[in-house]
Structure 1
Amino acid sequence: MTVTIPQTDVPPLRAAHVPTGGIYEGARELRRLPEGLPARPYDFFELIPQARTIGAEIRGVDLARPLDPALREELNRALLEWKVLFFRAQHLTSEQQSGFARNWGELETNPLLARGSSADVVRFDKGAGATPTFENVWHADVTFRERPALGAVLQLREVPPFGGDTMWADMAAAYDNLSPEVKDRIDGATAVHDFIPGFARFYGPERLAPFQDAFPPVEHPVVRTHPETGRKLLFVNTSFTTRITGLAREESDQLLRHLVQQAHVPEYQVRFRWQAGDIAFWDNRATQHYAVNDYGTHRRVAERVAIAGDRPF
């Protein structure tokens, strides 16, 4: 599908092409830690696992307070081991939310998203009359950037009376369970990532065209190596990955169809039911996520802070 713009003074958009479909079968290996790394207890908080390989609730930490180096280091170990951390009833201000995220690096924003109450925060405000956006699709954030986000800190300001959960998928488990034949095909391969397919679902061409120069298509490894754990991670997603470099379109579509659907496997997932003031902190390098739009016309308000990342390798 090619998206065109009627105005003569606005350049046409690039094609927005995303394959769909996929099939799964057989038993799965569910390994949470890198091979050879033993599980260790945590000294500064209580950790409650939420699923086999991904997702843990952290109790006993007040995120409004500055983190001392030892606590920050242990939270980072928990993030690397569990990939997404949940903190109940934090009720942070935007400044406190940003301050917590800065413990992991510089912050970044996405100019295509609505700004929140401060420059570092983007806001997702859904309810009666709002256009449904950025939900019901598995993705990793901003993989169309040369340096995709390291992670994100999301807080729910207002929750609907039912629904509105968020799900995360473990992309290390997704890679581990690929067949040897598929691994041979994708190890060393690269794929093109483009912002247009992900946003063309929600924005008109006149809104997207001005960003084409700022966000040209980029290539990333299909299999990314985590810079801290060394684990191999499947690094393609439905929203932004358009094709595998060097393959004919039909062959690329067929392979991508299989790869992007790995996030749909329930054994790789965790699902979080929000309450107002809850925080989720996830490793965007190692996960994909999916906001479930099942709350009808009820209001759901979330604010997110993103942490700048590095170039995938």
Structure 2
Amino acid sequence: MSDHSRPLKFENREDREGPRILRRLPEGLEERPYQLFEVKPLSPIIGAEIVGLDLAKPVTPEVQAELNRALLEWKVLFFRNQPITSEQLLAFARQWGELEIHPFYINKHSKEIVQFARDKKQAGSENIWHTDVTFRANPAKACILRMIEVPPVGGDTLWADMGAAYDNLPDEIKERIDGLTALHDFTPSFSHLLSPEELAAKQAEFPPVEHPVVRTHPETRRKTLFVNPAFTTRIPGLEPEESEKLLQYLFRQAHIPEYQVRFHWEVNSVAFWDNRATQHYAVSDYYPHPRKAERVAIVGDRPF
């Protein structure tokens, strides 16, 4: 383990010019063709459109296995022209495990579905880089978003490959964060939705949880940077000023375009992302036009 007492300088390292390590596959894994559908990459390392599948139909075990490989290799998959129902969305998601119930977004019609409806009375949100529900002891494994209504222009979503973000950290930063954990807390992002009594109850139910700053992906074994500005509040064991400087530096890694893919939504588009390997950002540039979507999430495991 590194010497965590050694001070570091953070001098715009992410702004350096020159090539970056852009590795799509985990080290040692070779490229293999896909047999059951077409994969159209939207960037060199993250994001691909899947062509040739109808998500309204049951997924065979063979297709599910190949889709899971595509998800691990591309981190976020996109499907267009999928006029599926909420029930079909749930059935597709259940192929990957038990579905999560979000503690703050309540849908009276279906407890597993989160509805996002932004209209003339409410501008869009989620325009902060984040990994979903990292305030949970077991954050979501993966999430699926289905777009129901889109604005005439804008409303894109970006995803960042946090394995690439880790790969490109300077060696001294990697040494510094080796073995560190960070606290994740829902309060900064969701307290405004709650009364003081509700907030106290939710804080008792979901106290701050520690996760490793660098997570090992449970399936690919790839190291990924696992802190985000929506929920990560501090690094225990560091002085507050150093913790804040280090976190702000690590947060900025998601901003680098080489690690990103940007998706332009259409009605009936679906995005399926690996929540263990990515962060995402919903661009809020379409107000006062409406944007409506629904999301499901698959229960994950404890980061290590």
**Is 1:166 paired with 2:129?**
no
Partner of 2:86: 94
Aligned length: 291
CA distance in 1, matches of 2:184, 2:158: 22
Give the TM-score of the pair, scaled to structure 2. Answer: 0.93
* Contact 2:153 2:286 (C-alpha < 8 Å) held by counterparts: yes
- Tell me which of 130, 140, 155 is aligned to 1:139: 130
Partner of 2:117: 125
Partner of 2:50: 58
CA distance in 1, matches of 2:201, 2:291: 29
Deviation at 1:198, TM superposition (A): 1.8
CA distance in 2, matches of 1:87, 1:165: 15
**Is 1:197 paired with 2:198?**
no
CA distance in 2, matches of 1:29, 1:252: 26
- Counterpart AA for 1:52: P
**Is 1:217 paired with 2:208?**
yes
* Contact 2:155 2:285 (C-alpha < 8 Å) held by counterparts: yes
- Tell me which of 32, 37, 40 is aligned to 2:29: 37
Q: CA RMSD in A?
A: 1.4
- Counterpart AA for 1:177: N
CA distance in 1, matches of 2:252, 2:185: 18
Relative to structure 1, is the Cα distance of residues 84 and 230 closer, same or farther in structure 2, using a 3 angstrom cutoff? same
CA distance in 2, matches of 1:191, 1:208: 22
Secondary structure, counterpart of 2:95 in structure 1: helix
* Contact 1:22 1:261 (C-alpha < 8 Å) held by counterparts: no
Partner of 2:179: 188
Partner of 1:14: none
Unaligned runs of 5+ in 1: 1-20
Cα shift readout 1:37-89 (whole Å, capped 9, x = no counterpart) = 11110000000000111000000011111111111000000000000000001
Secondary structure, counterpart of 1:237 in structure 2: coil
Secondary structure, counterpart of 1:107 in structure 2: coil
* Contact 2:142 2:274 (C-alpha < 8 Å) held by counterparts: yes
Q: Percent identity?
A: 61
- Counterpart AA for 1:296: Y
* Contact 1:151 1:309 (C-alpha < 8 Å) held by counterparts: yes
* Contact 1:116 1:122 (C-alpha < 8 Å) held by counterparts: no
Secondary structure, counterpart of 2:130 in structure 1: coil
